[in-house]
Chains A and B, each alone.
Chain A
């Protein structure tokens, strides 16, 4: 009977290890996403993701961020232009691409946006981001 608590302890620690290692799959550097947002996005999309009137769409509480989840890695890599609708409002501005970011930086940046400011969406794994970037030939494998 002495082995049962031990087994529980073993299972518990296994779960704990698993939880930690899974978490590290999503993001290793907790603040990198916020820092990348501030450096590369905030000038246009606002320091709280609020956007700018009808010129620049918000990323905070944005339906587009949830609905176009699979397209966002390529959108950041290649930029975009033309009419888009975010939360029912039409926007039409040029967004520059970011060839200077690694796949892992794009992952952390997107995970920051997907889980902050009223967005509560599924984060990306590094592998998933690289796969999604492959669609636009935009993965650097890093």
Chain B
């Protein structure tokens, strides 16, 4: 091998090594796990400044839970919560989805800073007694920890969008409503910090890992008590 050729070979080997190192960097996990969850959502308003890039917060809401208590954003002040959309007679994904949410609930049952909020998307059928019966059959007797809530349908569908869940009337699917099994994790400042497919156990596992990350952030940077 002549000298220039050998040199080219060395260069090639070096380039290859560098490439494999950098490619390896793409696939290997970062050394430190994520310490902060992203802020998710939609931004519908015109930015007021170049720095104004945060998505819209969850809008003000007023719902009624299975104990006939009015619940609003204030109910969740200083807490983090997990929310989903279901209906009591849902024959397709709801039982699986609610059994997965029950798994999350049980993981954080001793922690009063973690709340749960299930919205019915069929308020015409799911009256307060129906919601109460559903909650009790699921084993939830403390409505202040897991709210099963109703409101006029348009309000619910608008909230579903804010929580990044698909929900709509669809006569072609069993039960009459098309909806996704999304769980949204919401912080004390009305921001969505994670969305998870409630039908996929691995994603629900991730939610169970993410909640303590959010709780740590909330504890380290105390926010105004009132959720504005």
Contact = CB atoms under 8 A, between A and B. Distances in A.
B99 A52 contact: yes
Contacts of A42: 96
Interface in A38-91: 42-44, 46, 52-56, 91
B174 A55 contact: no
Interface in B122-148: 134, 136-139
Contacts of B139: 53-54
Interface residues of B, number: 16
Question: Size range of the interface on A?
Answer: 10 to 19
A134 interface: no
Contact of B96 (A43, A54, A93, A94): A43
Contacts of A95: 91
Contacts of B136: 54
A78 to B, nearest CB: 14
A93 B102 contact: no
Contacts, number: 37
A52 B98 contact: yes
A12 interface: no
A43 B98 CA distance: 10
Given A53-B102, A55-B138, A43 B93 contact: yes
A96 interface: yes
A52 B91 contact: no
A91 B89 CA distance: 13
Nearest to A50: B99
Contact of A52 (B89, B92, B95, B174): B95
B137 A55 contact: yes
Contact of A96 (B96, B134, B174): B174
18 contacts: A42-B96, A43-B92, A43-B95, A43-B96, A44-B95, A46-B99, A52-B98, A52-B99, A52-B138, A53-B102, A54-B136, A54-B137, A55-B134, A55-B137, A91-B137, A95-B91, A96-B174, A96-B175
Interface of A: 42-44, 46, 52-56, 91, 93-96
A-B residue pairs, 9 tightest by C-beta: A54-B137, A96-B91, A44-B95, A43-B96, A55-B137, A94-B89, A53-B139, A52-B99, A52-B95
